[in-house]
């Protein structure tokens, strides 16, 4: 019987894949299956994975014929998952020995839909612990209530899919698949949907995932047009939340987060290629125009002056002042 399906997408990570696979070996038991998805890598990654599938217990090599991005690669694994529970790992990260045994024990004991965990962020030799932004630990809670408050970092802002474990009933209910083709921010609509529609969750202070930052092939390091998929991702968050019965309470959080992410990218637009930076500004202005005007006005009024001013400047530049803004207040 397979208790846990571990889905691990890889793309051009030949330098890091061996470490990830060694850490899977250190977690292997007869109850765990490993689904190794190659997203049409151009380096030696497929050969590393093919060899690993023959050596790692209960491992299956799933080569994709066309590169689809992380969301689509994860979906490839979800379509083959047989476990009672599901979790994820990225192909350039790694695990502590015995971590999955502890993760299974946590969700079995708590008997909830999903469990979220802390992680260790690794940049060169630096190690930093990142905690789930939720104070209550080891207690089963309503996921919907963990979305708010609006002006505080909450569990939906900690979107890492690999920082947790998920009961199969979420997969059967259609809640675990990602939006196909999203190249970045793929975790954002996914985590919002989980918190809106799952019935129960918990947070545990369990460390075992080592998240590698600064990988050259990661989209967070590449300033090309694929980065702009964050707009499609957050459009989905806003659209789906607007249809929620509790939209009056939840939509301000979605809009405010979207605005903060747009402002962040605008402030760092020098890392994009020039045509992409222009497209970023145009698409961001269009996104602001799509947002509910009253909710957007409230979000801008409550954001700090610098970030809100950046968004108001973008609106003015297109001849459309931000809602609820006097000329004096709009000046930056």
Q: Which of 119-128, 150-159, 220-229, 267-276 has the lowest mean pLDDT?
A: 220-229
Is the pLDDT at 324 greater than 80, yes or no? no
Q: Which of residues 220, 242, 272 is at a domain's end?
A: 220
Tokens 């999203």: give the residue: 182
Residue 59 has pLDDT above 90, yes or no: yes
CA distance 116 to 191: 11
Distance CA 45, CA 13 (A): 6
- How far apart are the C-alpha atoms of 167 and 197, rounded to whole Å? 13
Give, for 25, the enclosing helix (H) or strand (E).
helix 17-25
Token pair recorded at residue 18: 């061996």
Beta-strand relationship, 209-212 and 94-95: antiparallel
Whether residue 279 is contained in a domain is answered as yes
Counting beta carbons within 10 angstroms of the beta carbon of residue 96, is it exposed (0 to 12), middle (13 to 18) or buried (19 or more)?
middle
Task: Examine the domain organization and report whether 58 and 190 are in the same domain.
Answer: yes
The pLDDT of residue 215: 59
Whether 271 and 242 map to the same domain: the answer is yes
**Model confidence band, residue 223 (pLDDT cutoffs 50, 70, 90):** low
Say yes or no: 151 and 176 in one domain.
Answer: yes
If asked whether residues 141 and 259 sit together in one domain, one would say no
Give the count of domains, the chain: 2
Tell me if 93 is assigned to some domain: yes
Whether 227 and 254 share a structural domain: yes
Residue 35 lies inside a defined structural domain of this protein:
yes
**If DSSP codes are grouped into helix, strand and coil, which group holds residue 134?**
coil
As a whole number, the mean pLDDT across the chain is 93
Average pLDDT over residues 228-241: 97
Residue 236 and residue 121 in one domain: no
Domain that holds residue 305: 223-323
Averaged pLDDT for residues 24-53: 98
Do 210 and 248 reside in the same domain of the chain? no
Instruction: Give the model's pLDDT for residue 330.
Output: 37
Query: Is residue 331 in some structural domain?
Result: no
Least confident of 131-145, 239-253, 312-326: 312-326
pLDDT > 60? residue 165: yes
Picking from 160, 193, 220, the residue at the C-terminal end of a domain is 220
296 — phi, psi (to 5°)? -65, -45
């Amino acid at each position: 019987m397979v208790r846990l399906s571990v889905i691990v997408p890889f793309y051009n990570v030949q330098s890091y894949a061996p470490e990830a696979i060694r850490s899977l070996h250190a977690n292997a038991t007869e109850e765990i299956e490993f689904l190794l998805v190659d997203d049409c890598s151009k380096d030696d990654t497929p050969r590393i994975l093919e060899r690993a599938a023959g050596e790692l217990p209960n491992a299956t090599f799933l080569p994709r014929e066309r590169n689809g991005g992380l969301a689509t690669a994860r979906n490839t694994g979800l379509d083959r998952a047989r476990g009672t529970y599901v979790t994820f790992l990225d192909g350039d990260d790694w695990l502590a020995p015995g971590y999955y045994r502890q993760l299974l024990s946590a969700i079995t004991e708590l008997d909830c839909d999903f469990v979220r965990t802390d992680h260790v962020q690794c940049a060169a030799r630096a190690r930093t612990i990142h905690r789930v932004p939720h104070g209550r630990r080891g207690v089963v809670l309503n996921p919907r209530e963990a979305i708010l408050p609006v002006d505080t970092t909450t569990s939906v802002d900690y979107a890492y899919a690999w920082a947790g474990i998920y009961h199969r009933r979420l997969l059967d209910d259609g809640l675990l698949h990602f939006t196909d083709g999203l190249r970045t921010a793929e975790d954002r609509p996914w985590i919002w949907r989980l918190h809106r529609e799952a019935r129960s969750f918990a947070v545990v202070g369990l460390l075992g995932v080592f998240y590698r930052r600064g990988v050259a092939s990661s989209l967070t390091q590449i300033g090309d047009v694929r980065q702009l998929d964050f707009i499609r991702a957050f459009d989905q968050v806003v659209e789906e939340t607007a249809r929620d019965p509790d939209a009056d309470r939840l939509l301000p959080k979605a809009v405010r987060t979207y605005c903060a992410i747009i402002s962040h990218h605008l402030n760092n637009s020098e890392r994009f290629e020039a045509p992409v930076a222009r497209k970023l500004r145009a698409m961001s202005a269009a996104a602001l125009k799509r947002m509910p005007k009253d909710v957007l006005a409230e979000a801008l009024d409550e954001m700090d002056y610098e970030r809100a001013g950046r968004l108001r400047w973008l609106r003015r530049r297109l001849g459309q002042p931000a809602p609820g803004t006097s000329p004096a207040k709009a000046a930056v």
